[in-house]
Amino acid sequence: MPATRYGSDLIVDVIKQYDFDYVSINPGSSFRAVHDSLVHYGGNRKPEIIECPHENTAVGMAHGYARATGKPMLVFLHNLVGLLHGTMAIYYAFIDRVPMVVAGATGPMDIAKRRPHMDWIHTALLQGNAIRDYVKWDDQPYSIASVPDSFARAYRVACTEPKGPTYICFDIPLQEEPLEQDVPLLNVNRLMPPTLIHADPAAIEKAADLLVNAGHPVALAGFLGRNKTSVDKLVQLSELLSMPVMDLRNRFNFPNTHPLDLTGSDCLKDADLILSLDVRSLAAPTTSYSSETPLKPTLSERIKGRSSILSENCRIIEMGFSDLGISSWAMEYGKINEVDLSILCDTATALPALIAACGKKLSDNPARQAQLKGRFEQISRQHARMRDEWKIEAQDNWDVKPMTVARLAAEVWQVLKDEDWVVTTSGGLKEWARKLWDFDRPDCFPGAGLGTGTQINMSLGVALAYRETGKLVVDIQADGDLLFDAGALWVATHHHIPMLIVMLNNRAYQNSWKHARSMAKIRGNPAAKVDIGTEIDHPAPDFAKLAQSFGWYAEGPVEDGRKVQEAVKRAIQVIKKEKRPALVDTIVQR
């Protein structure tokens, strides 16, 4: 007689129709049947189970993996409590536009089948309500026959631009009861995401006219680099128009070694045209903000503290998804901005059209081409001058102990520059990595850091994506962030994920420490007390010993900048020879 098939076997059959390399989980009883089917019925070959000590890590790894590959991972979260543990990470996946399918379980929804107490406190009606405001779609199929349809939509919606997380919840009896009859699978090849959104041709022509005739255009790039081929297209467009680019670093959008890169400059003040490319909140990079306004500011002081840095005659072209995919609950979309031309499109399709339109308008205008050549040379000199000034600035307080953040960035770069490296999130280096390192290829940087409690998990996901490639994945890891999910270190060792962590350890929650100092200054309170409630000291965590307890190679703390290079070199040798993760704990100034 054939072996009995269960609902969870069908769920695994459906999962295996999709190209999931990994499924990350924190194990839980509510999906024990799916877990069993993945291991025994599915053979745990693909998707490979990645076991995590916390749901925040399971979702965060999927986030980092999607950033690096553009592909979704599958995540399983244990009923209501596991979902609540993972909510922050799901929210960050939503605002960062990364695809993933989050699955879970609940119930039994039939109260006659519930165990006393436990099944009641872990069941919600409906469970997806907890995250509905910041997922693209959720469902809780009521029959096993509904699973193929439900999962197909969850996958397609997650992978349709603008991408994001979706959630599907399986009732426990659906998983655990025998299948009474075969459920036909769908042809998933006919259910893939739709083609990309093309721009209105008339709008492209209008944008090209504005760009070709602008005196000081500037491109702002946000999520454009989610499609790695778009980076080269932006390079082509900027060179064609001699247009400087400011990379907002939501993804790798533009090489910092290119002579038209003016990221970190004040070029927006002189701009007469802004080309906004996949920028979620245009107000953020174009608004000046002071955190030290008076305690009871007047209206004029409020306006002065938050004012546009753009000139009154600056025109704005917006290209991207505009208001598609925003939530009425999460206000991550920012302040609404007036623009002169808003083009709804996927920039991956729109940039080639815009390049062609601008090229055609310039081909018969040699005088304009000569003017643009002169502008290119001027911007190139400004770019080179900025880079030289940053190198000089980095020398300030060079020998102080603990070392400055700038020196740490400089010392680490001297080791990494000859490696095939990927840095996961370098925002904690206060932009010194981008000032001193050569970010010259899309795969070297998947995107800037997000909130505290995300970085170690996302970094693990990036490292998982590159596990078999030989690339050196480097996480410049903030101390406060690691303390949120220190157990995540276990995942790297258990699943043989080689990576390098260089601690950016200032023994404080740096952002809160700065706010405490600013507030004390405004109110006339003593600065000596700003450590209260913001320090990570007395005792100072020993991150090297912590990492060693999870099977990592680790050393430190290192306060002397002269010792950084050798420590990092030793760590890299362990990674290459032993294929295991390594951590160097470095201490920096606040």
CATH number of the domain that residue 306 is part of: 3.40.50.1220
Backbone phi and psi for residue 582, each to the nearest 5 degrees, phi listed first: -140, 145
Reply yes or no on whether the pLDDT at 109 is more than 80: yes
Enumerate residues 6+ apart whose C-beta is below 8 A from 115. Answer: none
Q: Assess contact for 575 and 420: CB atoms under 8 A.
A: no
Could you read off the pLDDT of 273-302 as tens digits, one per residue?
A: 999 999 999 998 999 876 555 556 665 555
Say if residue 82 is in the same domain as residue 66: yes
Residues 231 and 349 in one domain: yes
Is 163 among the domain residues? yes
- 374 with 402, same domain? no
Average pLDDT over residues 46-66: 97
State which residues form the domain around 61: 7-190
Confidence of residue 428 (pLDDT cuts 50, 70, 90): low
Among 340-349, 415-424, 522-531, name the one with the lowest average pLDDT.
522-531
Q: What is the mean pLDDT of residues 135-158?
A: 97
Last residue of a domain, one of 360, 386, 412: 386
pLDDT at residue 34, as a whole number: 96
Which amino acid is residue 143, in one-letter code?
S
Same domain, 410 and 361: no
Question: What average pLDDT does range 558-583 have in this prediction?
Answer: 98
Same domain? For 120 and 151 the reply is yes
Residue 2 lies in a domain: no
Report phi then psi at 61, rounded to 5.
-65, -40
Query: Structure tokens of 462?
Result: 């990036």
| Residue 527 in domain | yes
Q: If you ran DSSP here, which 8-state letter would residue 508 be given?
A: B
Question: 1 lies in a domain?
Answer: no
Which residue matches tokens 């703390």?
A: 557
Q: Which of 343, 370, 386 is the last residue of a domain?
A: 386
* 18 and 138 share one domain: yes
> CATH number for the domain including 543?
3.40.50.970
Whether the pLDDT of residue 30 is over 60: the answer is yes
Task: Indicate the pTM of the whole model.
Answer: 0.95
Report the percent of the chain where pLDDT is more than 90. 83
Do 351 and 474 reside in the same domain of the chain? no
Domain boundary among 190, 214, 230: 190
Number of domains forming the structure of the chain:
3
Rounded CA separation 90/78 (Å): 14
Please say whether the dihedral angle defined by the alpha carbons of residues 510, 513, 519 and 522, taken in this order, is positive or negative.
negative
Say whether both 148 and 216 belong to one domain.
no
Same domain, 333 and 462: no
> Do 214 and 254 reside in the same domain of the chain?
yes
- Same domain for 322 and 340, yes or no, is yes
pLDDT at 488: 97
Task: Count Cβ atoms below 10 Å from residue 551 Cβ, excluding itself.
Answer: 14
pLDDT at residue number 45: 80
